[in-house]
Structure formats: structure tokens, C-alpha cells
Amino acid sequence: MKQLGILDAAFINLEQTNTPQHVGGLGIYDPSTAPGGFVRFKDVIAGVVRRLERLPLFRTRLVEVPGGLDRPYWVKDANFDVEFHLRHIALPEPGDWRQLCIQVARLHSRPLDMSRPLWEAYIIEGLDNIPNLPPGCFAVYTKMHHSLVDGAGGSSFMAAMHDLRPDPDPLEEDEKDTVPKLVDTDPGMSELLAKASVNGAKNTLQLLRGTARTALELGKYALDVARKDVPAPDMSAPRTIFNKAVGPHRVFDAAEFPLAHFKDIKNAAGVTLNDVALGIISGALLRYLEARGEMPGEGSLAAAMPLNMRTRRGTTEDNNQVGSVFASLHTDIADPLARLAAIHEGTQEAKRSGEASPMVDSLMLAGVFSPLVTKAAARLWSRNQLSRYLPMNVTTCISNVAGPDFPLYCAGAKMVDYYGLGVLTPALGLFNLVFSYAGKITLSVLADRDIMPDPQFYHDCLVESYEELYRAALGSDADARTSAEVSPKRRDPQPRDKREPTANRRKQTQPKSGRRKTAAAQARRVPGKARPKAGAKRAAGKAATARGARA
């Protein structure tokens, strides 16, 4: 039996029907590398069971303290059934990329069963009509509660659940002996209440100490801002359509790019890979909101970025070691390279000021108080949309997770693509996740379905923003560089009898030139230039909506 850490408990306390607190991932696998050239469902189950020997936390369930008087506990599930957590489904016809996105969005919208170990995985077949994939591929969608893992922990989980080669060795006995053991018996009510009474005094002392420490850090931070040792946070970001109340339904889409092309932009502009991703997302948001006639007239959009806090906090009892900083996306700058340079400068300042700010640990407040208090406060916050009174507005959360730069295998099948899915929170209906793996980088979007009914159009905005930034950074060299044989997923599946041979089906990414811009895009945020008229905006918005499909 293990009690949840403060931050892990925060994600349990913030769980609500419309905003479940789980993260997810979608891997696509080529079975031709497996022994015999195919993979059976029972092979995947056997591999997961073998790997779970190293992940005992994923065989535990949550036990809450009566009355919500203390943080809950992880207890080994004596009735653990791996086949409840591993499910086998198939895409409906035509089995294309759109159907896969719809299926993943539906699965991700459903809350986990909180009475069982807090993870699920779905093996999805029927991907036969998705271009640019080897024949016979299958997908695995996995979701895990945020109380189990953060971004870095999720990457570690992915590595632990995969093999480094198609024919792995079985788990050695000496490795099994190093796996921590958990008790089989559930704690009784009297035991939980007794522990809660003891912990009550500790929690009160911890709360008092934390309050005093936060007050001191706030004072120090205010003094540093006054001295201009760290920049003051920007409170001028406008609200957008993504700051509405979040409903129960989701949409998902993703674009895939060569990591080498991102490095080309990084080296040419003198920025980081994370800055390149932010620059592309910034340009995509600009295109998307202008096409819908929803781009705020003043100010720049801002984003929240999760920050790995393992170095700052050191070793703690939490599975999660994450904070958050805020950065401007500089959507008020028309030139993509100038915008990228401003983003780079802003993210560096945000990290310096964010790490110095006590607000980076603000999420921990949801775990310090008893679940009884925090859950009631979370319901009140969501029901009354109190986030609209916050002094800072963010349009999206952008998380960047670095995966392995070498291939991974599941039951012998090589993982060819991977996409991450984040968490939506009340009044923040858009999450962008950046993931790098084996020479590729993916930009995934998760959004509220009612707020973003056209995720395919947002995907196209991401691709166009990438092409614009690549051309701007590389100039005349842009069309000559072929760093990888990877292209964004196409929406128009080719007829089966007209497809290219499998070996040639992955086209090299070449940023397109001569793309015609809309009137809204041409007048984008340029000082002194007239904005499109309302009628033109509405027409562009209708055209954009027509390009997408409701999931």
C-alpha cells in the first residue's frame, strides 16, 4: 500500500466528467518485422503481461479514505484482469485516417473506471486505407491517468512497455526479484481513518509550512520583478474561442514531419526545437482563428507549457514532477522568422521567470488540501466558469515530450509512428502535444468537439505554417533539401488499385511554394494594414468549416 503524493492526488481531485484527467498515446505498428510476419492479439497480451512485471503500479487500484479526509492510496488489485485493460477493436469502413482520429477521440473522451487500475489500451485493426503506411499495420491507443505519469513518466512507460528488438529475451529472474512488491489485502476503514488522523496533523503542518514558504517566495519574486532581475509576466493575452466551457466530447488529429527539417529550421534561425514547434503552432492558430473570423483584434495569444520540475524539486513521493510556465506566441508579428525569434526570446525569459516564480507549483495546492475540499472547489470552479476572472488568458497548452531516437517493438512489430494526447481543463479546450521519435516529430491536437468542429482544417493550418516557416528559414535551399522520407498524413486515400508500391509510398517532405494566400492571411496582423471585413471573415469561416468534418 502506497499513499499518493501531493501532486498525484491533485489530478485525482481535479477529475470531472467533462474533463477527465488522463493522458494518452497512439502508436502505429508494422507487423512484418514480427516473427512469422504477423502479430496475434494474444501475442500483445503476453508481451504486456511480461512487461507489467516491471511496472507494479499499473496493477494497483485507487482506495480513497472515507469522507475524503486524506489523500488516497495505491493498493495491489487482487482481481487484476489484464484482458479488461487490453481490448481489441477494428475501425469501421473505410478504415482511413479520419476514422482512426474519430475512434481515438471517442476513446479519449471516456473517463477511466476509477475502481480499477487507472489505464486502458486498445489494439485497433483495419487501418488498410491509411496512405503512407506499410500494409497490415495496427494501432495501439493507450490512456493512463495523470496521477500515474507525467510527460516524462509517460515516455518512460512507453519505453518500459516496448522491446528494443523484434525478438526480445524474457524477463530474467534476477530482474523480477528487483521489482517492488505490494500487499494483496485491502486496508479496512478503521486502518484508513487511523492513518488519516495521524496524517491530519502532518498535513496541517505541511500546509502551514507551504503557505509560509509560498508567501516568502511571492515576496522574493515581486522584489526580483521590481529590480528587473526577472521579467514581469505578460497579462495582456486576449481570450479566444478556446477559453469556453469544455464539454464531454473530443476531436483529435495530428501531423508528422521529419525531425531533420525541424533541425534545419533550428540551426538556420539559432533557436531550439521547442521554439520551432511553438512557431509552427503559433502560425497555425493564426490561420485557423482568422479563417473562422475569431482572431482577437489586439494583443498576442499565449500558451501554457508544462515544465519538468525533477531538477528543482529533487526526489519526492510523486509520480508527477511537473509545473507550468506561460509564454507569448507573438501572433501579433506577421513575419514568421521574426515571430520565431520573438518566441525564442520569450520562452527563455518564461523559463527563467517561471522557475523563479512560486506560481509554477500552484497545481500542488489541489493536492495539499483534503479531497473533500478540493473536489468541491473544482466542481464550483468548473460549473461557474470562474477561470474567466483570471488575469492571464492562455489559448492552448503546448507540451513537448522527447521520445527515443531509435525504433521500439511491440510483440515483434516495429512502431512506425507515435502521437501523444494531453488533457483538457475547464475553459481551456485546446491541447497541442509535440513528440519526437526515431527521426520524426509529430504535432498532435486534442480539442473540445463543439469548439473545434473542423480538426482536419487545423491539421492543414499546421502543415501550411510548417511550410511557410521552412521556406522562410531555408530560403532557396528549402526545395533542395530532402532530409527524410516522411510527409504529413494525407486526407485523400488513394484507390487500392492505384496506390504506389509500398516501398515508394512515403513521399519526401518538400515545403510547397507558390501557395495562394487568402485575403485574411495576406492582411494578417500587419501594423497599419486593414483587417478583412466582417463579411469576408464569415465567408472564410464557412469555407473553413466546410473543409473539416465533425468527429
Coil, strand, or helix at residue 175?
helix
Are the CB atoms for 171 and 65 separated by under 8 Å? no
Query: What long-range pairs does 156-159 form, CB within 8 A, spacing at least 24?
Result: 157/55, 158/25, 158/27, 158/403, 158/408, 158/418, 159/404, 159/408
Q: Could you give the CA distance from residue 112 to residue 107 in angstroms, rounded to a whole number?
A: 10
Are the CB atoms for 408 and 255 separated by under 8 Å? no
Cell output for 295: 482572431
Q: Could you give the CA distance from residue 425 to residue 427 in angstroms, rounded to a whole number?
A: 6
In eight-state DSSP terms, residue 16 is -
Cα angle 160, 165, 169; round to 5: 75
Cα angle 121, 99, 419; round to 5: 50
Q: Is 146 a catalytic residue?
A: yes
Of the candidates 22, 146, 162, 459, the residue annotated as catalytic is 146
Q: Could you give the CA distance from residue 21 to residue 15 in angstroms, rounded to a whole number?
A: 5
Are the CB atoms for 19 and 425 separated by under 8 Å? yes
Strands 396-402 and 440-448: unpaired
Are the CB atoms for 220 and 353 separated by under 8 Å? no
Strands 2-3 and 413-421: unpaired
Q: What is the dihedral of CA 434, 435, 438, 440, to 10 degrees?
A: -30
Are the CB atoms for 34 and 412 separated by under 8 Å? yes
- Provide the annotated active-site residues: 146
